[in-house]
Amino acid sequence: MNEQSTDLRETVRRRYAEAAVKVTDGGTACCGPEPVEVDENLGSALYAAEERDTLPAEALAASLGCGNPTAVAELREGERVLDLGSGGGIDVLLSARRVGPTGKAYGLDMTEEMLELALANAAKAGATNVEFLKGTIEAVPLPANTIDVVISNCVINLSVDKPAVFAETFRVLKPGGRIGVSDIVADDTLTAEQRAERGDYVGCIAGALSFAEFRAGLESAGFTDIEITPTHSVADGMHSAIVRATKPTAVTGPTATAPAAEADSCCGVTACCTPAEQATDPSVTVGEAKSTAGCGCQN
């Protein structure tokens, strides 16, 4: 990662850390937390009243998204869902309700302050089928082929390495898995410079892909059945959009993974003894997983 990308990521992290602290501090006030954003195009106003009524006030106040991905992801009972850039946990908590006790909702965020807020919100909501992970959306700390649905709410545009996000999303999805994402997308006629004129990077504008760029990125990662549907304008030539795509049930070429029996041959490790090996339990290292399982390949 170059210096500019590193600086951008730190700017984004700091912005959302400050948002989490504002909500947390506001939650101790007599009148409760104030929303971080007051904008009809962003935040909890984009959720139905019956959804908002089921959530902690802090989860609503920390909502910074441009849509409601849980409303379009068609979540089903028993599915495993991953929310990229989960923030205060609003979409994780809503997903957990939709997949029920036999399913699970993961939230991934790089900001410690947001993770603390999300854990507190999950406790207040009484959600037991949720798990929050610290990490970046360019390097998801979950094994390959383990997630049914990936959602995200106005976060991919903030990434400094979007091809890595698409590749990681494809990797963790099971064959036949799908994405249901809300994000900011630019008209194809707008240059990167023109997007930056309409808003800054942390404001979800300057880093947005165009419709064609978003589609090409998903296609390069291996996705099919791609749909990008604008929902409302957030700036001149910039739109909140719903993005859907599917991981094919039969994957060929460089993105293909080994058959399950071969991939799991080391018990507790996928893609054993390859550069892509990972522990199936994200809470332990590859070495610990191999040692526990008695795997003969300890390197």
pLDDT tens-digit map of 45-66: 554 455 545 544 444 444 455 5
Instruction: Give the predicted TM-score (pTM) of the model.
Output: 0.72
Report the 10 Å Cβ neighbour count for 190. Answer: 18
* Residue spans of the chain under pLDDT 50: 27-36, 38, 41-44, 47-48, 52, 55-63, 253-266, 296, 298-299
- How confident is the model at residue 62, as a pLDDT? 42
Q: For 222-237, what is each residue's pLDDT tens digit?
A: 999 999 999 989 899 9
- How confident is the model at residue 5, as a pLDDT? 63
